[in-house]
Structure 1
Amino acid sequence: MCDRCAWAGPDEIYVDYHDTEWGVPEWDSRALWEKLILDGFQAGLSWITILKKRDNFRTAFAGFDPDIIATWGEDDVHRLLANAGIIRHRGKIEATIGNARAWRQVEDEMGFDQFLWSFVGGAPLQNRWQSQAEVPTHTPLSTEISKELKRRGFKFCGPTIVYAFMEACGLVNDHVVTCPCHDRVAAMAQRGAGA
């Protein structure tokens, strides 16, 4: 019997996200940064709230271009705080600007993608969970990545946020084994494998 991961539904936007995006290995530095930022905004909220506002976020945050966002200041914070289409949380908005600057440093040093994928040896970790109840909310590895991100100046990247990010970006395959996406995502384990 093939059953989707228990969290995927009932909203169609959730099902589509699960079926086409969640767990698919992301190799692009900018896209990885966007997903980390959105996971930070999700803290304390449901992920569907972020999914429903994602297009608004992309518009408000200049397509999540960290080179642009890194130049922003207090006027931009006020502009974003007035935008009802996004999560209006000063700390998260300010962290996004700071995280853009931190991203730029890591990107220049080694590539944000290379930095993140180095923690898993360049290929997704393949879990074989039988049920959603087995899936952890954080791991020693997500704690390690969180500490290193914070050391490099990132904020809103605690171990639980980082683990959700790792799942979303395919650094770890946490589709349960009964989910039709598990094997499909596992087959994408090498850089360049198609979606």
Structure 2
Amino acid sequence: MSKTVAGPDGEPRCAWCNSAPEFFDYHDQEWGYPVADDQRLFEKLCLESFQSGLSWRTILSKRENFRKAFKHFDFKQVAEFDEADVKRLLQDEGIVRHRGKIEAVINNARRAQELVAAEGSLAAYVWRFEADTPKNPQTASTSPESIAMSKDLKKRGWKFVGPTTVFAFMQAMGLVNDHAVGCIMREKAAQLRRDFNKP
């Protein structure tokens, strides 16, 4: 079975893009490109935790609503959220209204502050877990690196950061190049990773 599909321009893309029209833009402009910005890294970890048990299309379609609801994932501001904020967010129809996941984002914002104080930045921490490019992309939902990061984050008190959630985060944020062989963006992602100055 082919791991690629023809994109709008006729060039091959990762086959998962075919699941929704908006996936092509997300795939071409973001997915798999290395990120060093702490706010974007925190956002992605939070959105992946919200995605648990749901489709990425659901989360992507609500991403702007999530950003508005969670102060654009500025974890210094989110760390100040209290029970009144939880109640407000549970009434917000623009996001996924799951108390456990909402509370996890607030908890994780506080843990992110601790991690930055200890390690210098989220980026410096997560890039320690960078993975080699797999020979057979998109054949696994976890990796030794995602298992290690998940275990360490949980030890530090983070929630909703299982190995599969962390692996999806790593794929999206460029910590591993998991573009399909033949995908037109695979080499672009590889070049961006080569040029990337690790924090």
TM-score (norm 1): 0.91
2-side partners of 1:9 and 1:103: how far apart?
35
2-side partners of 1:165 and 1:125: how far apart?
15
One of 62, 65, 87 as aligned partner of 1:56: 65
Partner of residue 119, structure 1? 129
Q: Structure 2: state its 5+ residue gaps.
A: 5-10
Tell me by how many angstroms 1:43 deviates.
0.1
* Residue 177, structure 1, aligned to residue 187, structure 2: no
1-side partners of 2:18 and 2:41: how far apart?
24
Query: CA RMSD of the aligned region, Å?
Result: 1.6
- Asked if structure 2 preserves the Cα contact closer than 8 Å seen for 1:128 and 1:174, the reply is no
One of 88, 94, 99 as aligned partner of 2:103: 94
Partner of residue 191, structure 1? 196
Query: Which has the larger displacement, 83-92 or 103-112?
Result: 103-112
* Residue 159, structure 1, aligned to residue 169, structure 2: no
Tell me by how many angstroms 1:192 deviates.
4.9
- Asked if structure 1 preserves the Cα contact closer than 8 Å seen for 2:66 and 2:94, the reply is yes
* Residue 32, structure 1, aligned to residue 36, structure 2: no
Render the CA deviation track for 1:141-179: whole Å, top value 9, x for unaligned: 211110001111110000000000100101000001110
2-side partners of 1:181 and 1:157: how far apart?
27
- Asked if structure 2 preserves the Cα contact closer than 8 Å seen for 1:128 and 1:176, the reply is no
Q: Percent identity?
A: 47
2-side partners of 1:22 and 1:128: how far apart?
18
Partner of residue 78, structure 2? 69
SS of the aligned residue for 1:9 comes to helix
Tell me by how many angstroms 1:29 deviates.
1.3
- Asked if structure 1 preserves the Cα contact closer than 8 Å seen for 2:79 and 2:106, the reply is yes
SS of the aligned residue for 2:17 comes to coil
Which amino acid counterpart does residue 180 of structure 2 have in structure 1? V
Which amino acid counterpart does residue 136 of structure 2 have in structure 1? W
* Residue 146, structure 1, aligned to residue 146, structure 2: no
- Asked if structure 2 preserves the Cα contact closer than 8 Å seen for 1:19 and 1:181, the reply is yes
Render the CA deviation track for 1:42-94: whole Å, top value 9, x for unaligned: 00000010000000000011111100000111000000000000000000000
Tell me by how many angstroms 1:125 deviates.
2.6
2-side partners of 1:59 and 1:148: how far apart?
29
2-side partners of 1:137 and 1:23: how far apart?
15
Which amino acid counterpart does residue 127 of structure 1 have in structure 2? P
TM-score (norm 2): 0.89
Q: Structure 1: state its 5+ residue gaps.
A: none
